[in-house]
Structure formats: C-alpha cells, structure tokens
Amino acid sequence: AAKEAGRDTLRYYTPDMNTQAMERLTLERDLRRALQDDPTQLVLYYQPQLDADTGRCIGCEALVRWRHPLRGLMLPGEFISLAERSGLIVELGRWVLAEACAEQARWAAAGLLLPVSVNLSPVQLERSDLTPYVRGLVQRYQIAPGMLELELTEGALMSEDARHLEVFNALMQLGCRFALDDFGTGYSSLSRLKRFPISRLKIDQAFVSTLPGSGDDEAVVRATLSMARDMGMDVVAEGVETDGQHHCLLAMGCTQMQGYRFARPMPAAELYHFVARLPQAQGAS
Ligand code: C2E
Ligand code: MG
Ligand code: MG
Ligand code: MG
C-alpha cells in the first residue's frame, strides 16, 4: 500500500522529502550502474531448506544482496522496492535468475543436485519476455524439471489479467515449480489459489515467530497444513529461529523448514559445504 501511495499521491514539497527523493535517485542511479557496468556488486546468498524429519537439505532460497561501493552490504529490504518502482527490477530479476541457474549448474557439476528457489517480483510477470528468458536459462544450464522454483507473493496472483495464468502455465511447461511466499499475510481466497499451479506454500515468519504458545498462530499453521494436503501442496515454514518453534512445527506435521535455527543465508561456496557436512550428506557423490 505504501508503494502505491508513494507513486500516486500528490506530494508536497518539504526539505525532508527532498532529501529522501535525492537519496532514492542516487541509489537508483547506483543500481542502474551496477547492473550495466559492474554486476559483481550483486551477489546471491542461499539459505538452505531442510526436511526436519530426515535431516536432509531439500533445497535453498536465493536471496540477493548488493555490495554497494560506499554503503557496504545492502539487504533487499533497502533496494527491492526502489528497483520495482524504477523498473530496474526487470534487469535485476534477470540477473538473479541467471546467477541462480549458473550456480545450480556449478553445484551439479560438483555432484550436488539441489533445487533453487528464486523470488519473482510481480513486475517481472508483466513482461512478456519472462518465459523465453527462463526457457533460455533452462536450456543453457540444463535445469531439470522441478529444480527451479519461483516464489511469488499473493499480490502477484491478485491480477485479473488472464495473461498471468498463461505465463504461469508456460513456465510450468518448462519445468518450473511455484511457491507462494509469505503465505497468510495476503488475502487470497482458496478459489483463487486453486487456479494457479502452486506446488508449495511458505508459511510466513509472522505465524512461526509466536510458536509455541500462540493458539491463534498454531491454528493458522494447522489450517494451512490441512488445506495444503487437500490441494496436494507442500508446506515450508519460514523464519524458524528456535528449538521450540522447530519442535512445535514438527508436532503439527510441518517438516519442511527454513530459518536461522538451521542456517542463515550464506554465499554459494558455504552452502555447498553446509550441505556436504549434514549427517545425511548429499554432497559430492
Ligand atoms: P522472503 O522471500 O520472504 O525471504 C525470507 C527473508 O527472511 C530473507 O530476508 C531471509 O534472510 C530472512 N530470514 C530467513 N530465516 C530467518 C529467520 O529465522 N529469522 C529472521 N528474522 N529472518 C529470516 P532477506 O534476504 O533480507 O530478503 C527479504 C525479502 O526481499 C525476501 O523475503 C524477498 O521478498 C525479497 N527478495 C530477496 N531476494 C530477492 C530477489 O532476488 N528478487 C526479489 N524480487 N525479491 C527478493
Ligand atoms: Mg522468498
Ligand atoms: Mg517469505
Ligand atoms: Mg518476507
């Protein structure tokens, strides 16, 4: 909502707003330069997703960081919405997709077959060239079906535009899977969800952080699990930080987890070693 307000509302001049606007323009210029001239400023971190039942790493989520020459390592919260507003997200999103696929191919060459999840902005879906772009990557990097998961938030499913559904289906034909990110924080109706080929729900951290002890959030998790089961979807809990949360989720039958309790997002080489060190080692075979 803040995003819309920022774009459409009449803005009154105040020195403070002027400073903010300047700051945003500067960052936008820096990001454009990084994308055009120095993509090494961008880096993907990967956070493992574990199956707590088996102890195996079942995948990882690619999370972008920006090594800004003056500001240091920046988190997506500091630049994704700016990238969306300025349209730079299209190019940034392409870079993220390409880098994640290239990394997966490097891991595969080293004997590690690991699904990678990539966050997609709704702005990327609007672009008709997303499907051919992903097709090119899948072919170039020999991405096997099911090995590339695209994460979308409920907002991306809100559009009434039938073309969106076509994009989803075309990407699915290429072997992509879809996860619904931050599940529970949006307003999607079940009937709407059913129209999309989603294979996994990611329970938002907000419902995990109060476990155990919050009856309401336990109820949300239980309802999500049972709904997902009925609809043939997997469920992964995000933001699992404590033993208590881990065991509460397990007791409710939610086994897929992602969070600081297991590992923080880390550079690609570290992720490779993290997986290789797991008791159920899946590393080089
Ligand atoms: P998200 O997709 O929901 O990703 C999960 C966020 O939660 C990540 O933050 C991750 O570092 C953080 N997290 C994971 N486990 C824990 C935990 O146990 N506790 C806490 N407190 N946090 C945890 P990050 O990397 O700062 O990313 C924030 C958001 O930025 C992401 O939320 C996603 O919406 C967006 N984002 C990240 N990378 C990309 C990208 O390449 N493209 C787009 N469009 N969005 C991205
Ligand atoms: Mg995500
Ligand atoms: Mg999320
Ligand atoms: Mg989030």
At 80-120, the pLDDT tens digits run 999 999 999 999 999 999 999 999 999 999 999 999 999 99
How many A from CA of 258 to the centre of ligand 1?
A: 11
pLDDT of residue 175: 97
pLDDT of residue 42: 98
How many A from CA of 1 to the centre of ligand 2?
A: 19
Range among 12-16, 162-166, 217-221 rated most confident: 217-221
How many A from CA of 12 to the centre of ligand 1?
A: 33
- Mean pLDDT for the stretch of residues 163-187: 90
Separation of alpha carbons 52 and 251, rounded Å: 11
pTM assigned to the model: 0.92
The alpha carbon of residue 36 and the mean position of all alpha carbons in its chain are separated, in whole angstroms, by 23
pLDDT of residue 154: 84
Ligand 1, closest atom to CA 44?
41
CA torsion angle 155 158 162 166 (round to 10)? 40
pLDDT of 172 over the 80 cut:
yes
pLDDT of residue 243: 96
pLDDT of residue 2: 44
| Banded model confidence at residue 285, pLDDT cuts 50, 70, 90 | very low
- Mean pLDDT for the stretch of residues 160-174: 87
How many A from CA of 119 to the centre of ligand 1?
A: 9
Residue carrying the six token digits 């700016």: 82
Separation of alpha carbons 245 and 210, rounded Å: 8
| Banded model confidence at residue 178, pLDDT cuts 50, 70, 90 | very high
Listed range (102-116, 125-139, 174-188, 229-243) with the worst mean pLDDT:
174-188
How many A from CA of 9 to the centre of ligand 1?
A: 28
Ligand 1, closest atom to CA 204?
3
Residue 92 in tokens: 């940034």
pLDDT of residue 14: 64
Ligand 1: which residues within 6 Å by Cβ?
A: 47, 63-64, 75-77, 80, 93, 96, 119, 121, 151, 181-182, 205, 238-241, 258-260, 265
- Mean pLDDT for the stretch of residues 59-73: 97
pLDDT of residue 11: 61
% of the chain at pLDDT higher than 90: 70
User: Do residues 192 and 157 lie in contact, with contact meaning Cβ atoms separated by under 8 Å?
Assistant: yes
What does the DSSP 8-state code read for residue 143? Answer: P
How many A from CA of 183 to the centre of ligand 3?
A: 8
**Residue with CA closest to ligand 1 atom 7:** 239
**Residue with CA closest to ligand 1 atom 8:** 63
**Residue with CA closest to ligand 1 atom 46:** 119
pLDDT of 202 over the 90 cut:
yes
Separation of alpha carbons 135 and 220, rounded Å: 37
* Mean pLDDT score of the chain: 90
How many A from CA of 1 to the centre of ligand 1?
A: 19
Nearest listed ligand to the Cα of residue 258? 1
Tell me whether residue 258 is exposed, middle or buried, using C-beta atoms within 10 angstroms of its C-beta: 0 to 12, 13 to 18, 19 or more: buried
pLDDT of 158 over the 90 cut:
no
pLDDT of residue 19: 84
How many A from CA of 10 to the centre of ligand 3?
A: 32
Ligand 1, closest atom to CA 260?
18
Taking 3-state DSSP, the helix, strand and coil percentages for the chain, each rounded to the nearest 5, stand at 50, 20, 30
Separation of alpha carbons 281 and 283, rounded Å: 6
Tell me whether residue 104 is exposed, middle or buried, using C-beta atoms within 10 angstroms of its C-beta: 0 to 12, 13 to 18, 19 or more: buried
- Beta-carbon contacts of 208 under 8 Å, excluding residues fewer than 6 positions away, are 217, 221, 237, 238, 239, 240, 241, 245, 249, 259
Of 204, 274, 201, the C-alpha closest to 239 is 204
Ligand 1, closest atom to CA 63?
38
Containing H/E element for 149?
strand 148-153
Residue 184 in tokens: 């529970």
Q: Which residues surround ligand 2, an ion (CB under 5 A)?
A: 119, 151, 181
**Residue with CA closest to ligand 1 atom 44:** 121
